[in-house]
Amino acid sequence: VIKQNNRNNYKVFESSISKDFKSMLRMETELRKAMKEQQFELHYQPQKDIGSERVVGLEALLRWNHPEKGYISPATFIPIAEKTSLILQIGNWVLHEACKQNKLWQDQGYSPVVVGVNLSAKQFHQADLVEQVSSVLQQTGLHACYLELEITESMAMSNEEDIIHTLKGLRELGVHVSIDDFGTGYSSLKYLSRFPVNKLKIDKAFIHENRRQNKAIIKSIIHMSHSLNMKVIAEGVETEEQLHFLQEEECDEMQGFYYSKPLPPTHVTPIFQFVKC
Ligand code: C2E
Ligand code: MG
Ligand code: MG
Ligand code: MG
């Protein structure tokens, strides 16, 4: 009886694996097509300075506008693209598009903001990343100080010397670097103090769950950022109560549905408070 059960379980397991594998292959083919047929879009989520209440940044978030399925979340397709070299093509498109759009807004007279671009691990670990970023800035005409690259703790923790070399190269260019989803990985304080990083982004999980431990963690991330001369932004702020807590703890910036969801480019311009001319 036991043997039979095992065999049955095995079959179920096997068929679900091959199903996943097939849907992964299908998704990969569709991603290639999406790239060719320009089905990707960037939406932008505003980031507000908590003190002045001005919009100081916009995070570019990738959207796949599938002809039949509608918008597909990056959480679904980025991990698949990451398993192939497709992520490099997609990531390069994102970087170029975000810089181009930000420069366009500046040329239209809107007050300048920083555009945030998420990097995947493969992208970040390319030996010529600094040259690539520099060339995108040159092609689009965006000044380096209006670009912020977001990496995660796990990306920053591997191969210390190479990472520091890349981060220093980016800093020399004048590009900002932030650590996304901070607090969910394993960064040690020793590493953090050695890395030339401009900002920590507190992961939304700490903001969402209203627990005493989370508040203590948020407070210590804010204090640590400031003592390491970094700025700190809270992600996923959804309520006034959360904002008030961050205000009291002197968090620098906030991003979240409480102020705005990620917006298509045409909906972004009304949120720029200061128009130059
Ligand atoms: P992330 O970089 O941490 O981006 C923040 C995510 O939180 C976004 O999800 C955003 O829509 C969502 N969010 C913002 N405010 C709130 C809030 O108040 N409440 C809640 N519940 N969620 C909020 P999204 O756009 O689905 O992106 C998911 C992840 O996909 C991103 O997390 C990022 O890791 C990745 N991603 C997005 N665009 C790109 C890209 O161009 N390249 C790469 N490599 N990864 C990307
Ligand atoms: Mg991000
Ligand atoms: Mg992330
Ligand atoms: Mg995040």
Question: For residues 91 and 3, which has the higher predicted lDDT (pLDDT)?
Answer: 91
Say how far apart CA 51 and CA 214 lie, in whole Å: 22
118 lines ligand 1 (CB under 6 A): yes
pLDDT at 106 over 90: yes
Supply the angle between the helices 2-36 and 86-107 in degrees, to the nearest 10.
40
DSSP code at position 111:
P
Q: Please count the other Cβ atoms lying within 10 Å of the Cβ belonging to residue 100.
A: 16
Say how far apart CA 239 and CA 120 lie, in whole Å: 30
Say how far apart CA 258 and CA 256 lie, in whole Å: 5
Residue 155: per-residue pLDDT: 87
Residue 275: per-residue pLDDT: 45
Mean pLDDT calculated for residue range 228-241: 97
Least Cα distance to 41 among 69, 76, 66, 78 occurs for 66
Q: What percent of the chain has pLDDT over 90?
A: 74
- The token pair at 37 is 């047929």
Least Cα distance to 153 among 197, 106, 216, 208 occurs for 197
- The token pair at 90 is 């997609």
Q: E strands within 6-79?
A: 40-49, 55-66, 70-72
The chain-wide mean pLDDT, for the chain, equals 90
Residue 15: per-residue pLDDT: 60
Residue 20: per-residue pLDDT: 75
Query: What is the Cα 46 distance to its own chain's centre?
Result: 13
Say how far apart CA 13 and CA 153 lie, in whole Å: 33
Question: For residues 211 and 219, which has the higher predicted lDDT (pLDDT)?
Answer: 219
Say how far apart CA 82 and CA 46 lie, in whole Å: 26
218 lines ligand 1 (CB under 6 A): no
48 lines ligand 1 (CB under 6 A): no
Least Cα distance to 118 among 92, 141, 86 occurs for 92
Say how far apart CA 176 and CA 146 lie, in whole Å: 8
- pTM for this entry: 0.92
Cβ-based neighbours of 193, under 8 Å, separated by 6 or more:
228
**Tens digit of each residue's pLDDT (9 = 90 or more) over 1-48:** 444 455 555 555 556 656 677 777 888 899 999 999 999 999 999 999
For residue 262, give the ligand 1 atom closest to its CA: 11
Residue 165: per-residue pLDDT: 93
Pocket test for ligand 1, best of 118, 233, 239, 259 (most atoms within 8 A of CB): 118
225 lines ligand 1 (CB under 6 A): no
**Tens digit of each residue's pLDDT (9 = 90 or more) over 145-198:** 999 999 998 888 777 888 999 999 999 999 999 999 999 887 777 778 888 999
Query: What is the Cα 77 distance to its own chain's centre?
Result: 15
